[in-house]
Structure 1
Amino acid sequence: MSGSADRSRRADARRNNSAILDAAVRLLDAQPDASLDAIASAAGVTRQTVYAHFPSREHLMAAVVQRISDEAVAAMDAAEPDNGSAADALIRVLEAGAQTAGRYPVLIQQIASLPVSPHVDEERHAPIADRINRVIQRGQASGEFDNGLPAHWLAAITIKIGHSAGEEVDAGRMTQTEAANALRTTLLRVLRPRA
């Protein structure tokens, strides 16, 4: 096979992969039980092409999780985590991640319900936790945040509290605004330096 044909085949594979993931994210957020046939049709490819890229629904879901995580990380990076006060940066970073998740409410709930090992869950959250950890370390270095506890622990707590805020909204017990205010207040109390 010539180099040109090989490059063309790889470009087609990348386009198909992207089209499948776009369709999967869109369809699974609207219809969590959408079949692989429906995803293939929405992507404009055959079912065999879907299986060539993703040998099982589990592989496809893992790629969907990665796609949403990458989108959230890009939004968090665009929120300028290294600028301004650490408290303001942390809130901006969390809001950016929440806005991304908010675009896929049904899909995020579906992903959260999938049974995964603690190791897989940690890997899934690692890029997000790294960004939160970096802001917390900056706040600890400046004296804005408590440095008596490890930054990675405070980042883990931050993620859990963020999930709790989202769950309150999903359950209808809080509005988005109420949850955002509660999240900010709680985090600033948790992270505040001890007297």
Structure 2
Amino acid sequence: MANTKGPVPLRSNSRSNRARILAVARQQLSENPDVAMDDIARAAGVVRRTLYGHFPGRAALLEALTDEGTETLLDTLRSTLVPYDTPEERLARHVLAGWPVGDRYRMLLALARRDLGDLKITEALVPPREIVTATLSRGQKAGVFSSHLPAEVLATALEALGLSLLEITAQGAWDGTAAEAAVATLIAAGVEPAGAADTVRRVQSESNPQQ
């Protein structure tokens, strides 16, 4: 009698290969932006044909990594949606939780921007940006965030600020932390400095009650 379950392990193996390739590529490209596709295949333990079967070229690989990073950031931001918090607290949570994700994918975003173009990155970041925009809009209506810019424009500006701070940190020009980035973001959104610092400390203490 034929084994009708034969193809299932193959599909499972294919998914496993793809996940391993992406994980290895993320590490390799972060260490060496110009690493060759063949070197990624070798490091992932797959043959060249397997790599190109999943990703026909470097652009396809970078696009997949960009989508992975965006989805990770989106899931992270969704996890910060606490129903009882204030707009300032929610924005602080966005930055505190999103900072390590941004750090992990910072180099890949820069590569994707270079190889795929700004439009691809702008489009990929739309879902996470919408969450931040909603937080800013809520804060503007409450009078706690500056309203000199529309919420969607302010969200884009704060996104650029966060990416710049990550890049400066990676270059060693600033040894800032996620907390300091969160304070800077709140100030840029219109919160006075002392209040911004208090908000970040309060959010951190709620996340780490033992401290």
Q: TM-score, normalised by structure 2?
A: 0.76
Residue by residue over 1:69-122, the C-alpha shift from the partner in whole angstroms, topping out at 9 and shown as x without a partner, is 22222222222364411112112112322211213454344334435143x232
1:19-38 correspondence runs (5 A): 19-38=20-39
* Distance apart, 1:173 and its partner CA: 3.5
Q: How many residues align?
A: 189
Structure 2 CA distance for partners of 1:81 and 1:156, relative to 1, 3 Å: farther
Letter of the 1:24 counterpart? A
In structure 2, the partner of 1:150 is: 150
Which residue of structure 1 lines up, in the alignment, with residue 75 of structure 2? Answer: 74
The Cα shift of 1:174 comes to 2.6
- Counterpart CA distance in 2 for 1:18 and 1:115 is 21
Secondary structure of the residue aligned to 2:85 is coil
SS in 2 for 1:176: coil
Cα distance in 1, alignment partners of residues 86 and 23 from structure 2: 36
Alpha-carbon distance, 1:58 to partner: 0.7
Aligned with 1:144: secondary structure? coil
Unmatched 5+ residue regions in structure 1? Answer: 191-195
Of structures 1 and 2, the one with the larger relative CO (CA 8 A, separation 6+) is 2
Structure 2 gaps of 5+ residues are 193-211
- Residue 46 of structure 1 aligns with an amino acid whose one-letter code is V
Identity score, percent: 28
Q: Deviations over 1:128-156 (max 9, x none)?
A: 21111121122234343345643212211
Paired letter, 1:185: I
Q: For residue 168 of structure 2, what is the amino acid of its counterpart?
A: E
In the alignment, structure 1 residue 86 sits paired with structure 2 residue 58: no
CA RMSD of aligned residues (A): 2.7
Amino acid at match of 1:15: S
Equivalent position of 1:129 in the other structure: 129
Work out which of the residue numbers 178, 184, 208 in structure 2 matches 1:182.
184
The answer as to whether partners of 1:168 and 1:179 remain within 8 angstroms in 2 is no
Query: CA offsets, 1:4-52, max 9 Å, x none?
Result: 2333332222111111111111111122222222211222211100101
TM-score computed with the length of structure 1 as normaliser: 0.81
Q: Distance in 1 between matches of 2:3 and 2:155?
A: 50
Give the structure 2 partner of residue 193 of structure 1: none
